[in-house]
Amino acid sequence: MILDLGFACFLSGRTTESSHEHNKAWLLEETRPTFIESDPYSGQSSFRFSLCSQVELEKMRREEPSSSCQSFQVSEGSTTVLLVNEVRETDKPTVEMNWSTALSLEKSISPVTSTLIRFSYSEIVTATRNFSKGRVLGRGACSCVYRGRMGIWRKALAIKRLDKEDTESPKSFCRELMIASSLQCPNIVPLLGFCIDPEQGPFLVYKYVSGGSLEHYLHDKKNKKRGVKVPFCLPWSTRYKIALGIADAIAYLHNGTEQCVVHRDIKPSNILLSSNKKPKLCDFGLATWTAAPSVPFLCKTVKGTFGYLAPEYFQHGKISDKTDVYAFGVVLLELITGRKPIEVRRPSGEENLVVWAKPLLRRGMEAIEELLDPRLTRTRKNSVAMERMIQAARACVNDEESRRPGVKEIVSILKGGESRKVELRTFPSRTKSNLSSLMDCYPQLQRTKSEMKSHLALAMLGVTEFEDDDDVLL
């Protein structure tokens, strides 16, 4: 699920105590992700901030001299600026505003409502036992997902409740509903219906997937069984099956729909497993359309999860299907190694998974013993599949978007088709992020300052300036 920190708004005024506490909670969640023990789903932090050019920044300062916006260069010598703002509470919407928003939502989604089930708010309340804490599957800053049961047969559902107080919720609801309702793929969690209540806000109802998230199996090292903690591990055959299934899902999003869909948040917590371990991609809260595969566009508000963002997206706000390919490459590395993308407690040089793995990926199967999850054993039977996944991961995490293949080629590599030789360029020096001043603008967060700085610094490793003059931008 998504935890979305509102760094994007240009707001002025004094920050309230509650918003301070909200930001502090987000930073703690980012540096130390927590898991809901009773549920198969887990939460993982994401973030949002704004990017602009130096010229746009100067114009904004002239027009809004009283703005509390703080600005920092993403990297030394970069023309891209990171904007960070203190957020203030907005006035609560009136009854008239609530009804107006509900009518606007109804009008916006009317082209697809005939294909979905419309649930009443009372049905949602009954299904979730009045939003019982025991029914929570995952929480975010702008949404909360509950497990529910509905109908005579007590069918299990995943009910996503969007924050009615968040001004972005109506837009996010419309976008997610319009995209998710158009998808028909066995490796994607289907959207079943929705609910719009003027007082309580919008809801999305998805099919419930009982097996839990991939993150739970990869990174939750202990499993409670009969009151005793015992280690468990996904076998290699299952990991390979998951890689193929999610690759097919991404290929469908990019090439199998009427308009190319970029998911923007591919990670293990958004990959659910059925009872027979069939993978299903979920959570289209950040998904967006693009004109066509490999045709990028620029986005000022960058959203996503540390460790999974492609360099061109994190540094320049550049979105294309290659954004998903990079994130999928990180997931492949997690399947191969059993490691998280960013782990502060790892030895020096191993904290960032992609940076640590790249030299080993270049060696291929010669480095399999160093790359492979220590809980797994290499055999003759699985060696071929391991080699394919190493080749695919190496291609996906290429820093240069123009050299990164599309998902069709990644699927071909995983299935044993002809794979092109991927040239990974290395760079002797990396650009430095201005992290100290970024964190200094939050004096109320001194206790988590060093942890957040360390985490963000690790995420920025491998982010290098590129010249993309030959790329097409819309």
Look at 33-42, 73-82, 153-162, 413-422 and tell me which has the smallest mean pLDDT: 33-42
Task: Count CB neighbours of 36 within 10 A.
Answer: 16
Residue where the block lists tokens 């924050």 = 163
* One-letter amino acid of 434: N
Q: Would you state the pLDDT for residue 396?
A: 98
For 275-282, what is the mean pLDDT?
94
For 256-266, what is the mean pLDDT?
94
Q: Would you state the pLDDT for residue 128?
A: 95
Range ranked top by mean pLDDT from 7-21, 42-56, 65-79, 185-199: 185-199
| Torsion over CA: 237, 407, 268, 282 (sign) | negative
Residue where the block lists tokens 């002797």 = 428
Q: What is the mean pLDDT of the chain?
A: 76
Q: Would you state the pLDDT for residue 221?
A: 63
Residue where the block lists tokens 């299907």 = 321
Catalytic choice (4, 248, 265, 321): 265
Look at 73-82, 111-120, 129-138 and tell me which has the smallest mean pLDDT: 73-82
Q: How far apart are CA 73 and CA 84, in angstroms?
A: 11
Task: Count CB neighbours of 416 within 10 A.
Answer: 11
Q: Would you state the pLDDT for residue 120?
A: 95
Q: Would you state the pLDDT for residue 98?
A: 77
The two structure tokens encoding residue 22: 């909200």
Look at 36-40, 73-77, 105-109 and tell me which has the smallest mean pLDDT: 36-40
For 71-78, what is the mean pLDDT?
54
Domains, the chain, in order of start with CATH, read 95-207 (3.30.200.20)
Per-residue pLDDT tens for 406-440? 999 999 999 997 544 444 333 333 334 444 433 33
Question: Is the entire prediction scored with pTM above 0.85?
Answer: no
Residue where the block lists tokens 């620029």 = 298
pLDDT at 384 over 80: yes
Q: Would you state the pLDDT for residue 250?
A: 98
pLDDT at 374 over 90: yes
pLDDT at 30 over 60: no
- Residue 373 catalytic? no
pLDDT at 228 over 90: no
Q: How far apart are CA 12 and CA 18, in angstroms?
A: 16
Look at 151-160, 248-257, 336-345, 434-443 and tell me which has the smallest mean pLDDT: 434-443
Q: How far apart are CA 1 and CA 189, in angstroms?
A: 14
Per-residue pLDDT tens for 320-357? 999 999 999 999 999 999 999 999 999 988 999 999 99
CA-to-CA dists, residue 461 to 77, 258, 362, 430, angstroms: 16, 36, 18, 8
* One-letter amino acid of 302: V
Q: Would you state the pLDDT for residue 414?
A: 97
pLDDT at 245 over 90: yes
Q: Please name which of 426, 17, 416, 463 lies closest in space to residue 243, comparing C-alpha atoms.
A: 416
Do the bridges between strand 301-304 and strand 47-53 make them parallel or antiparallel, or are there none, so unpaired?
antiparallel
Give the 3-state secondary structure of the chain: CEECCEECCCCCCCCCHHHHHHHHHHHHHHHCCCCCCCCCCCCEECEEEEEEEHHHHHHHHHHCCCCCCEEEECCCCCCEEEEECCCCCCCCCCHHHHHHHHHHHHHHHCCCHHHCEECCHHHHHHHCCCCCHHHEEEECCCEEEEEEEECCCCEEEEEEEECCCCCCHHHHHHHHHHHHCCCCCCCECCEEEEEEECCCEEEEEEECCCCCEHHHHHHCCEEEECCEEEECCCCHHHHHHHHHHHHHHHHHHHHCCCCCEECCCCCHHHEEECCCCCEEECCCCCCEECCCCCCCEECCEEEECCCCCCHHHHHHCEECHHHHHHHHHHHHHHHHHCCCCECCCCCCCCCEHHHHHHHHHHHHHHHHHHHCCCCCCCCHHHHHHHHHHHHHHHHHCCCCHHHCCCHHHHHHHHCCCCCCCCCCCCCCCCCCCCHHHHHHCCHHHHHHHHHHHHHHHHHHCCCCCCCCCCCCCC
Q: Please name which of 268, 52, 54, 303 lies closest in space to residue 171, comparing C-alpha atoms.
A: 303
